[in-house]
Structure 1
């Protein structure tokens, strides 16, 4: 992301359901969902991982930075407290909104890619950055539909966001794979346009096909095409870290270890 961004290596998303598994796996860092952590009573497993010297990176899912509603500063302050509790080098969320008025989506949704939407996003990101003790990185999301009348490609939208806020990026190759198939995103154009030097780390997740649509489920094995995209990314740049995401239908320790090995092999191609 910049000269001060740590080299993270290969990591995995920490979840309570696989806390003991994560402790046993050979990883260099972990990411936790910030909203699932009380900074006053840290999970024993995450405390142990941190005591071993592994970075713990808080990843928020509810800041709704791309929403038109006023920024919920208490959610940002919670993220800040979690970052401080783990002495985290950075935090993250998504280029997305999760609420509108009294309506809570319960999911991260992509914003319209317009100048007006970008202005709102930039203002919210800048407010959040003022409240956070460490740098903020933002992740592009997988989507099944697009808003009409887009003024920018996804990559152009991200590049302008980074230029105006100085934020980092979490580049999710699984999301890029999903959007390529479902929305027609050109992966090569995407990688040519986004500022690769601003990548904080990379997400890799699994998915599945259903009725001709690729679903980024985080509940299935990583498909070979996603690993190919990871290799193509690494042919262009060397991101500080790469992380495996798994949020449901957790496999055995050996299967997760095999997926981490496949990620390392893709990086080394």
Structure 2
């Protein structure tokens, strides 16, 4: 197996999906990839991921169902699966969402924002500490896209994430497409958020496209990232160069040539920054 890049240098990557496994494996310039953790069987790693690992391309398990933003403690079986996926893939870190996803057996079916209150922060700090103790590699948490905000927030998203990092040592996965979504849908200033976030703790960055419907932006991961999202990436890079930037594309896949062009757009935005 080829040597992995340093932990602070992932480069530019694209999300691995079974529908485009060969594309991700062979696309020029892919320096790392990310796979949905819940779709990984640690005992039977897909062949294309195994071959990429043999070439020294890092593979990061990206969880969508752990639910660290809920009031209940993290499910140990889900944590065990995330840990097993990381070990099977030889991953440098794992990532998840800072989101509310279930209450008891009732699933939300979506990554919902958490209330940004002091009480909620205290609960989430304990949840994150439990997760960190169970995982064999560092954990990065992602900011989520929202269609609504909870009433009674006491902290901005940047303040909430900053305090969470300070109290737990968790890393961040900053999704600039989600920052843009929240700017359109909720009126938050995405550039001011970048100014307030602890960018030195960013493990990597997500970029994605979506679709607008009236005054609402839907972060669908099914289209080319708009220039506004790439401008936010450039703004982030101007403040702190992230270790890696990854393109998410989850359906309605374009040609390999188009995906390659999208990676070039990401590199150009990083260089502008």
2:22 is matched with: 20
Q: How does 1:116-195 map to 2 (within 5 A)?
A: 116-195=119-198
Higher deviation after alignment, 62-71 or 195-204? 62-71
Q: Decide which of 34, 40, 62 is 2:65's aligned counterpart.
A: 62
- Matched residue, 2:3: none
List per-residue Cα deviations over 1:159-206 (Å, max 9, x = no partner): 011011100000111000111111111122211111010000000000
| Separation in 1, partners of 2:141, 2:60 | 13
CA distance in 2, matches of 1:200, 1:55: 13
Q: What per-residue deviation string (whole Å, max 9, x for no partner) do you get for residues 43-74 of structure 1?
A: 11111111111000111011100111232011
Aligned counterpart in structure 2 of residue 110 of structure 1, from 109, 113, 128: 113
Q: For residue 116 of structure 2, give the secondary structure of its aligned residue in structure 1.
A: coil
Q: Which residue of 1 aligns with 2:253?
A: 250
What CA distance in whole angstroms lies between the structure 2 residues aligned with 1:35 and 1:23? Answer: 20
Structure 1's unaligned 5+ residue stretches are none
1:6 CA displacement? 2.8
Q: Which residue of 2 aligns with 1:11?
A: 13
Determine which of 53, 75, 84 is the counterpart of 1:81.
Answer: 84
1:141 & 1:130 partners in 2: Cα distance?
23
| Aligned equivalent of 1:39, options 20, 42, 45 | 42
Counterparts of 1:79 and 1:73, CA distance in 2: 10
Distance 1:127 1:237 in 2: 29
SS of 1:254's equivalent? helix
Runs of 4+ in 1 over 6 A off after TM superposition: none
Cα deviation, residue 5, structure 1:
3.3
CA distance in 2, matches of 1:222, 1:188: 17
Question: 2:229 matched to which residue of 1?
Answer: 226
User: Aligned to 1:268, what secondary structure does the other structure show?
Assistant: helix
State the alpha-carbon separation in 2 of the partners of residues 5 and 198 from structure 1. Answer: 13
* 8 A Cα contact 1:6 1:89, kept in partner: no
Q: Please, what TM-score do these two structures have when normalized by structure 1?
A: 0.97
Match of 2:211 among 208, 211, 216: 208
Q: Which residue of 2 aligns with 1:267?
A: 270
Shift in Å, 1:105: 1.4
CA distance in 2, matches of 1:164, 1:75: 23
2: distance between equivalents of 1:211 and 1:230?
A: 24
- Determine if the alignment matches structure 1 residue 237 to structure 2 residue 245: no
Aligned residues between the structures = 266
The whole-number CA distance in structure 2 between the counterparts of 1:177 and 1:62 is 23
- Counterpart CA distance in 2 for 1:128 and 1:113 is 20
The structural deviation recorded for 1:108 is 1.1
